[in-house]
Amino acid sequence: MNIINVENISKNYGIKTLLEDISFTVDSSDKIGIIGNNGTGKTTLLRLITGSESPDKGRVIRSSGLRLEYLKQDIDFDLEATVNEEVFKGDSENMIALRKYEKAIKNKNITDEEMIEITMEMDKLNAWNLQSEAKNILTRLGITDFEAKIGTLSGGQRKRVSLASALINPSDVLILDEPTNHLDNETIDWLEEYLKGINNALIMITHDRYFLDRVVNQIIEIDNNKIYIYNGNYNYYLNKKVEIDEIESKIESKKNQLLKKELAWMKKGAKARSTKQKARIGRFNKLQEESGKEFTEEMDISIESTRLGKKVIEINSASKSYSEKKLFKDFNYIVQRDDRVGILGENGTGKTTLLKIIAKIIEPDKGEVIYGETVKIGYFSQETSHIDDNIRVIEYIKEAAEILKTGDGTSISASQMLERFLFTKEAQWSLIGKLSGGEKRRLHLLRVLMESPNVLLLDEPTNDLDINTLTILEDYLEDFNGALITVSHDRYFLDKTVDSIFVFEEDGINKYNYNYSEYIDYKESLEDEKDTQADDIKDDKSDESSIDDHIQRTRERDLKFTFNEKREYEGIEDIIFSLEEKLEALNKKIQENPTDYVLINALLEEKKEIEASLNTKMKRWVYLEELSEKIEKRKNQE
């Protein structure tokens, strides 16, 4: 059933046309991925669909009562709101009821009659499931303190809260703009499975090609102000593009042969006397026009790197902590000339910190980083806030170099290099502040590469870059004559560019000689081995813990609670609520006693213990909640 009709819409920004006469429909079962170069209008198209912007021409028709939920890239937060308030901020009846309930349980003066009325409303709307699901999703996204104020969270944590809000609010169409940014690899895997299971329509912009391959059933590509629709996943899209390119190249080859014949004839000095000659001249002019048709420009990375000697980088016993949190201890590694290393780990474990220590942007608490004499670092950071928005694009690039050598040894100007990076001569004189997020990232990448590094340190290089740019960057890295170390959550990018992995684990930073997918296969094989060993010891009554593990796995297959687990499930939310109250009281005490350092140290230690306990209980609650849902699903099937 069609729920959205986009009819002949066009959108301009000043003299720049983004979309022209675009038409398509969205069905209730569609899962759509929107792709295209940065600056082509992907986010603008989402805004037009949601109604947050109006087209200059045409219209967007939405079904009556259609509920849209939109995760934007740039979100205006109420910094004083709590996580719960931000998640439950929707205007639906369920969200209003949940907000009333959350407010009521904190109100010590509420009467029994008022509380009964609020809980009856929750029962009527079946809103209890939403409350549980919200806490489940937040925990999966790494947010466990539901009463924390948004202003105290990092940028990545805020984005995850907004993602949770979009997922939990009831909708007919879920619209997501780069949902995987700021998520770690494990969380992306979870989100992928979650989105595959939802029943409502999905429209999203993402550069994550595994996501596009596994979640969507339709690709919309924006190119030269038009859209091209492919009714399949990313793999289907690639196959169709190859087919189309092959057909076009055959047609173009025939055209070129005919054009050469006609050109030879015209050079003989044809005169437009007869009807036949006039027809040939007309055909020649038409062929010339067609041969000069517009084509999609592609970014060209061809920059010479400087020579790298045998000694590259030595990391000796590097350790780093922040406050009470130890990120890593006594980390040792010798970087080789041909290294291709990816860094994995949950958010907050210290991946960016390690990269900055290798780049000598920050110092380790202990240990040292030693560079070889020929090392020239190129550091591509996550953020672009260090770039002055008030200078012009060409000025920013000329700060690095006015003339540089390309891979084939020729010299070109900064302006010519900008053109290769898809910045027109007009765009080169724009202020950086006028660029889109993706364009600014592309400019930052060019600036890093223009300094001809021989060791590249890339921190989340795929954020905000379009798929075309990523493909060209991956091709460049394949031939890069130097060492590469990258932090990335993009599984496809890691598979294409690295052959070993640093993983932040409980026992420290461990190195695996695999790309991302090979590493995941290896970890899964270890889990399978554990399961096999557990099954083998079922008759061995002496090993109590192993028997417990076996019973747990058997119970999971039978899908039923044990007596103790049923009691645990019934009381775990009260325990979590009690821990959250204690945490809130401790935070208040810390704020009230800023100068009493003895008391603050004691309170911080207590806070750390409660947070650890809360985290354990939350994970246990998520497990029991999911088991409960599976049990309920099995009952309904029976």
Domains and CATH numbers, the chain: 68-170 (3.40.50.300), 313-521 (3.40.50.300), 544-637 (1.10.287)
pLDDT in tens, 431-464: 998 887 788 888 998 899 888 899 999 999 988 8
Q: Taking 60 as the threshold, does the pLDDT of residue 280 lie above it?
A: no
Q: What is the pLDDT of residue 229?
A: 93
In 421-503, alpha helices (H): 425-428, 437-450, 467-479, 491-497
Distances (CA, A) of 223 to 20, 40, 42, 296, 418: 11, 7, 10, 7, 20
Residue pair 305/481 in contact by the 8 Å Cβ criterion: yes
Three-state secondary structure string covering 522-553: HHHHHHHHHHHHHHHCCCCCCCHHHHHHHHHH
| Of the candidates 324, 345, 334, 366, the residue with the CA atom closest to the CA atom of residue 506 | 345
pLDDT in tens, 282-297: 655 555 555 444 444 5
Euclidean distance between CA atoms 145 and 584, whole angstroms: 9
* Surface-to-core class of residue 131, CB atoms within 10 Å of its CB (0-12 exposed, 13-18 middle, 19+ buried): buried
The DSSP symbol for 153 reads S
Q: Taking 60 as the threshold, does the pLDDT of residue 587 lie above it?
A: yes
CB burial readout 297-319, b (16+ within 10 A) else e: eebebebbbeebeeebbebeebe
Q: Taking 80 as the threshold, does the pLDDT of residue 252 lie above it?
A: no
| Of the candidates 499, 140, 138, the residue with the CA atom closest to the CA atom of residue 346 | 140
* Structural Rg of the chain based on CA atoms: 29
Euclidean distance between CA atoms 139 and 144, whole angstroms: 5
Q: Phi first, then psi: give them for residue 22, nearest 5 degrees.
A: -90, 130
Euclidean distance between CA atoms 629 and 638, whole angstroms: 14
Q: What is the pLDDT of residue 542?
A: 44
Q: What is the pLDDT of residue 110?
A: 83
* E strand or H helix that includes residue 555: helix 544-558
The DSSP symbol for 322 reads E
| Of the candidates 64, 35, 40, 59, the residue with the CA atom closest to the CA atom of residue 49 | 59
Q: How far is CA 582 from the centre of its chain?
A: 34
Winning range, highest mean pLDDT, from 177-186, 209-218, 606-615:
209-218
Euclidean distance between CA atoms 424 and 437, whole angstroms: 17
Could you tell me which residues come within 8 angstroms of residue 573 by beta carbon, excluding any fewer than 6 positions away? 621
Euclidean distance between CA atoms 163 and 195, whole angstroms: 12
Q: Please report where in the chains the tokens 């997922």 appear, as a residue.
A: 167
Amino acid at 560: K
Q: Taking 50 as the threshold, does the pLDDT of residue 246 lie above it?
A: yes
Euclidean distance between CA atoms 255 and 271, whole angstroms: 23
Winning range, highest mean pLDDT, from 325-334, 377-386, 572-581:
325-334
Q: What is the pLDDT of residue 292?
A: 46
Q: Taking 50 as the threshold, does the pLDDT of residue 544 lie above it?
A: no
Q: What is the pLDDT of residue 500?
A: 93
Euclidean distance between CA atoms 218 and 237, whole angstroms: 9
Euclidean distance between CA atoms 252 and 266, whole angstroms: 20
Strand 226-230's sheet: what is its strand order?
68-71, 173-177, 201-205, 31-35, 218-223, 226-230
Euclidean distance between CA atoms 222 and 18, whole angstroms: 9
Averaged confidence pLDDT in the chain? 82
Helix, strand, coil % over all residues of the chain, rounded to 5: 50, 20, 30
Q: What is the pLDDT of residue 466?
A: 84
Mean pLDDT of 480-506: 92
